[in-house]
Amino acid sequence: MNGADTAFAPGRVNLIGDHVDYVGGRALPMAIQLGTTVTLAGRGGTRIRLSSDAVPGALDVAIDADPATVDPPWGRHVVAVLRELAISAGGTGTVTTSLPVGAGLSSSAALEVAVALAFGTDLTGLDLALACHRAEAAATGVPTGILDQLTITSACDGAALLVDCRDLSTRAVRLPDGLAIHAVHCGESRSLTGSAYASRRTACEDIEREIGPLRDATMDDIASLADRGRRRRARHVVSEIARVGDFTDAMDAGDLDAMGHLADESHRSLRDDYEVSSVALDAAVERARRVPGVIGARLTGAGFGGCIVVFAHRDVDPAEIGGWRLDASGPARRIPPAR
Ligand code: GLA
């Protein structure tokens, strides 16, 4: 084990490609400058004692506790990561975050990865993402995809990341000049526990039993589904995967208008076909689109509340859009001690 005791993990905004990672689709997220820092003042013993500046309730728990029973609930992620990495030495410290919690910007995955690096792991990139992804499932019981953890461990400074969730490969995609990206909170927080996230995933599995992998499905395959509800769910997934390819091409070509159009289509698809938007998210998207210079907006992440992502020309006054103007961050990292 190495002795690192401070680590930072960025959050992520998904530019496009939501609810496609768990069927092996492609998505285009970007790690952001907002993130979570875990600092350990002391190591050793068999307890984990952490306080958080974002969530009430300090964590004080045996390192071998069952993650599913830990209170406060954010501590479940901490315990699950340490169990996954077979780390047996406890520690005392603090968690600070500039991310809004439970807002679709991957605050849980950032916590998991920062904990892993602060307590000491030699895993990096995909291996670290896979370990933290297993921990997320143990902590929450929600069958999320790999998108969040992989973005956070494998991000590229100054670029978005095209993530292929079938072979888990990633490729940096440069941000076009003149583009501003904002996250704006719709005012409604969300938790995936108890949400329809798991049932959407189950619906995809049912569809795949009928027509084979959604990643390879065509619109003809979708038309062959007897159930209208299933046809709509499948239409979102298949069209969203196609939009990720088109959006990436538009980014490469610096075609901001095409990007905005695809973002708008993505939101409509998530709202109408996949039904993971909410009144507050839709209102935030409509509000953002009315700002002159905004080229498109959509919910980002799982939906059900939290943030939207807004694409705009860079000369628009950030205050007109609100929220956070986002920069592309590098991957999670240990912070060397100050000399
Ligand atoms: C959450 C999950 C991800 C992904 C998104 C939706 O962020 O953790 O795996 O499914 O929702 O794209």
Classify strands 47-52 and 91-97 as parallel, antiparallel or unpaired: parallel
How sure is the predictor about 339, in pLDDT bands with cuts at 50, 70 and 90? low
In whole angstroms, give the CA distance from residue 134 to residue 145: 10
Answer yes or no: is the C-beta of 136 below 6 A from any ligand 1 atom. no
Please state, in angstroms and rounded to a whole number, the distance separating the CA atoms of residues 23 and 146. Answer: 11
State the average pLDDT for the chain.
96
The SS3 call for residue 109 is helix
pLDDT in tens, 93-145: 999 999 999 999 999 999 999 999 999 999 999 999 999 999 999 999 999 99
Q: Is the pLDDT of residue 168 over 80?
A: yes
Q: Is residue 19 within 8 Å of 274, Cβ to Cβ?
A: yes
d(Cα 56, Cα 52) in Å, to the nearest integer? Answer: 7
Give this prediction's pTM: 0.96
Distance (Å) from CA 147 to ligand 1 centroid: 6
* 10 in contact with ligand 1, CB cutoff 6 A: no
Instruction: Judge whether 18 and 299 are in contact, CB under 8 Å.
Output: yes
The distance from CA 300 to its chain's CA centroid, rounded to whole angstroms, is: 8
Kindly state if the Cβ of 21 falls inside 6 Å of ligand 1: yes
For the chain, percent of residues with pLDDT exceeding 70? 99
Q: What are the tens digits of pLDDT across the range 123-135? A: 999 999 999 999 9
User: What's the CA-to-centroid distance between 227 and ligand 1, angstroms?
Assistant: 25
252: Cβ contacts below 8 Å, ≥ 6 apart: 173, 174
Q: What is the 3-state secondary structure of 244-261?
A: HHHHHHHHHHCCHHHHHH
194 CA → ligand 1 middle, Å: 15
From CA 177, how far away is CA 315, in angstroms rounded? 11
